[in-house]
Structure 1
Amino acid sequence: MICAHSYNESANSRHSGDSYTDTGFDIRFTLPNDLNPFGNPAMNSDYVNNGINWLKYLSTAHNSSTYYVFDFARGGATVDNRLVYYRDDIPSFIEQMETYFLPYMTGPNRIYQLNSSETIAGVFFGINDIYNSWQNYTGTERFRFYTERIGQSYWSAVKTLYDTGIRHFFFNLIPPIDLQPGEYPAERRDLVAQAIAEFNTMVTSGAVMFAKHYPDVRTAVIDLNIVARMLIAEPKTYGFENTTTYCAPYAVGVPFVDTFYKHCEYSANKYFWLNSAHVTTDVHRYFAHYIARQLELNLGLPATNVNMSLPFINITRPTATALIEPKITSLTTITPTPEVQRMYLPYGRILIQ
């Protein structure tokens, strides 16, 4: 996902990524405007998540200005199709930059004038990279693949954003897709969890190095993995009844987020998982709630914490450590130095209060 939000009285937002971020936007049609800051499709469209996703919550409920959102995300997208391939018609991070962002948002033939100095760019990739590659590598080979080969493509795309004048960035970490119901064999989930930790290490350590190399940027790493594990660890606190399975009748969408079908034990909004690959819209609400606070604390961007009857997500260092499953191999057995581990673990400590 690439997301650009202006943070003055009006805002512009560009996004690319996968199905967690995909709103169905097509830059060739209606552009973001005052009536619909997402341009197209309609504001109330529920695209993948049985309701609006974290991006729409973030851009409408958690800001103090008008946000114009350019969302180039596509379900199934990876960082670089040359490294982890999905489908020809699904543009990767690299292709979303080259095919959509650069031609339409920069240069002499651009269709929209982006004020880069008042833009924040957010990146959310990795779910499909893990899904399509975790079983192909082992040990240090997999770690090097994520941190070096995919990392090179990931940060070269971020550098392209920097070269357009953008100086504010946030990077979402991969949530615990190892816990997706029915998606991974139970005996292999520990390996998937390790792959997630390795990919997230690449993002976190890369963000640190990116900020050091370009001292004029401000960055924030958003640990959605810890947020999701908190919701799973204390489901009733956050309004969920089931965090381990999903109910098939809800998997393809329902007319209302709290729809109840007699074949299911609970209404749709009481489930954490919508289907085997996605979370429900209420989980996205918590993601947006947390992201908004992190952007306010780390980047100084104004945010409006709208009361949506959501309990505060309090993430402290001890709690975050406890939520990391013990089956995950220690990062120190894979990383060349303890420095990468120190880079990864501190994120997520800031309280939402």
Structure 2
Amino acid sequence: MRFKTLACAALAATTFAAPTSEPKKAKFSWNKTKSLIAFGDSYTFVQGLLGHPNYTYIGDNFSLSFTPQQLFSNRIVQNQTSTASGGPVWTEFITNCGVKPGHTDPRKCEKQLWDFAYAGSNTDEVLTPLHWNHTVSLEKQIEQFEKYGDVALQKILKRKEALVALWIGINDINDLAKLRDKNASFASLYEQVVTSQERLWERVYKLGYRNLLLLNLPPLDRGPSPSVNKTLVSTYNGILASHATAFQKNHTDATVLQFDVNTVLNQVFDDAADHGFTNTTNFCPGYNQPDILTNPEKYGCGKGLDTYLWYNSGHLTSRVHEVFSKVLARWLGEQGR
């Protein structure tokens, strides 16, 4: 049952997200992809030895710069607190890079993972304020990559063999709901947010990257304490899809992949029991305790975090990331055929 339903969800994602460019352009191949370069927020961030603790792989808003030597000496950290999900997240799962506990050198992975996402990030600092003074917005992440990341990675990688992934908007939509009046015209605000994102896609394109992966908003309306409803999530996702389709039309030598993670995750939520999830509405109160993985009963968490959809009030568990990542990896493998 669970494989059949997720296959249907994946088909929906493919229908929503198939590239719409000219047939003559170069086709994307996940099998030939050598690196994943990721940007975004806490759903995407991974911890690095040279990153701000609990927020990023390398650097922060106080120090965006790094040398190639620093980037290459850095390591992905995998432990209970190295992501916002209590374990590996989707970027690590689809690349199989940094999944195992301990430290991982991205250069030794078959698909190298270079993750510049920052936990708590919004698109920019215009519509919503930074969560903390050390936060690196998506705009600043791209700036950091332009000045330091791309320069370093070109010593070991080719742009044509990279997939650039961006998953952003969760903090934007939640913060706007809290900052603005409930009768605000959110569609116009979302239009401004996504327009800012499109300008950042353009900057990535101008660097020479031609493979772009965009993920829409997850079902935030189904969280333990949602700030937004299904209509707002759907409105944002519709605007994102419209801009992504237009960007693809105007950049026919690129491949813009839109993955409908919202549809896939809604299917996971609907069929939670089939995937081994027994708690779909709340999160384990001891999720951040050092012995939660070995003694979940101590905190009234039954058979452990893997039975929960939600890790805390705003983040999915690592197990959920693993489930939808399998769909994403399979879907990526089907693109360009």
Per the TM superposition, whether the score is higher than 0.5 is yes
Q: Displacement of 1:105 after TM fit?
A: 3.0
> Cα distance 1:133–1:254, how it changes in 2: closer, same or farther (>3 A)?
same
**1:42 is the counterpart of 2:86:** no
Q: How many angstroms apart in 2 are the aligned matches of 1:202 and 1:166?
A: 23
Q: What is the aligned-residue RMSD (CA, Å)? A: 2.6
Percent identity over paired residues: 25
State yes or no: 1:57 paired with 2:93: yes
Aligned twin of 1:84:
128
- Deviation of 1:236 after TM superposition, in Å, equals 1.0
Is the Cα–Cα contact under 8 Å of residues 160 and 209 in structure 2 kept in the other structure?
A: yes
Query: Which residue matches 1:68?
Result: 112
Q: Deviations over 1:178-215 (max 9, x none)?
A: 2221344xxxx5xx322211221122111111111111
Aligned to 1:111: 152
Aligned-partner residue type, residue 125 of structure 1: I
DSSP-derived class of the 2:37 partner: strand
Output the CA distance in 1 between the equivalents of 2:255 and 2:76. Answer: 31
Shift of 1:220: 1.6
Does 1:143 find its partner at 2:164? no
Q: Contact 1:219–1:298 (CA<8 Å) still a contact in 2?
A: no
Greater RCO, 1 or 2 (C-alpha within 8 Å, sep 6+): 2
Distance 1:273 1:8 in 2: 31
User: Which residue does 2:142 correspond to in 1?
Assistant: 97
Equivalent pair of 1:155/1:206 in contact (CA under 8 Å): yes
The question of 1:291 aligning with 2:328 is answered yes
Q: CA deviation at 1:123?
A: 0.9
In structure 2, how many angstroms separate the alpha carbons of the residues matched to 1:279 and 1:156?
A: 29
Query: Aligned equivalents of 2:294 and 2:94: distance in 1?
Result: 21
For residue 82 of structure 1, report the CA deviation from its aligned partner. Answer: 1.4
Q: Is the 8 A contact 2:30 2:332 kept in 1?
A: no
User: What CA deviation, in whole Å up to 9, does each residue of 1:142-164 have, x standing for no partner?
Assistant: 101112x1122100000111111
2:166 is the counterpart of 1:123:
yes
Deviation of 1:171 (Å): 0.6
Summarize deviations over 1:264-294 as a string: whole Å, max 9, x none.
2422210111110111111000121121122
Q: Give the unaligned 5+ runs of structure 2.
A: 1-27, 48-56, 60-65, 100-108
Give the drift of 1:141: 2.0
Q: Secondary structure at the match of 1:216?
A: coil
Q: Of Structure 1 and Structure 2, which has the larger fraction of its residues in strand? A: 2
Cα separation, partners in 2 of 1:10 and 1:198, compared to 1, 3 Å:
closer
Tell me the TM-score normalized by structure 2. 0.75
Q: How many residues align?
A: 277
Amino acid paired to 1:206: H
- Tell me the alpha carbon deviations over residues 231-273 of structure 1, each in whole angstroms, 9 at most, x when there is no partner: 21111101100101112112x1555757522332422210111
